[in-house]
Amino acid sequence: MRIGELFILGFFGKTVPAWLKQFAARYGLGGVILFDYSCRTREYDNNIESPEQVQRLCKEIAALPSGPMVFIDQEGGLAALRPCRAQRNSTIWRGIASARSSPRALPRCGGSASTMISHR
């Protein structure tokens, strides 16, 4: 295991930035977390635009060295946990679900604010 595989990193933008590609190539990467809300702009414009864009982004992340997992966070501040049914109807959920390349990569809904999707 490479040291970077212990990290779950996030970024601002709709595509994987160069620094994250370089980090993954050099150290490996355990996962990437996607956010809808941006603390930088204080708007819902961070990583999510449409289901098609999320699908492309997840494929781009899955192609990184070490095949990092994709995590999503659907909060915009204070905890607002949603049942799995609501998550599956969201824009990010539809985009990630359509990007899954394997029937083994099933969503896991627990009691946390983040949902994990594996691309392995």
Element at 56 (helix H, strand E): helix 51-62
CA-nearest of 39, 99, 28 to 67 is 28
Q: Give burial (CB, 10 Å; 0-12/13-18/19+) of 61.
A: buried
For 16, the domain range is 3-117
The answer to whether the CB of 34 falls within 8 A of the CB of 90 is: no
Q: Is the pTM of this model over 0.85?
A: no
Task: Kindly report, residue by residue over 71-116, the tens digit of the pLDDT.
Answer: 988 665 555 444 444 444 455 555 555 554 443 343 433 333 444 4
Q: What domain count does the chain have?
A: 1
Task: Kindly report, residue by residue over 9-21, the tens digit of the pLDDT.
Answer: 999 999 999 999 9
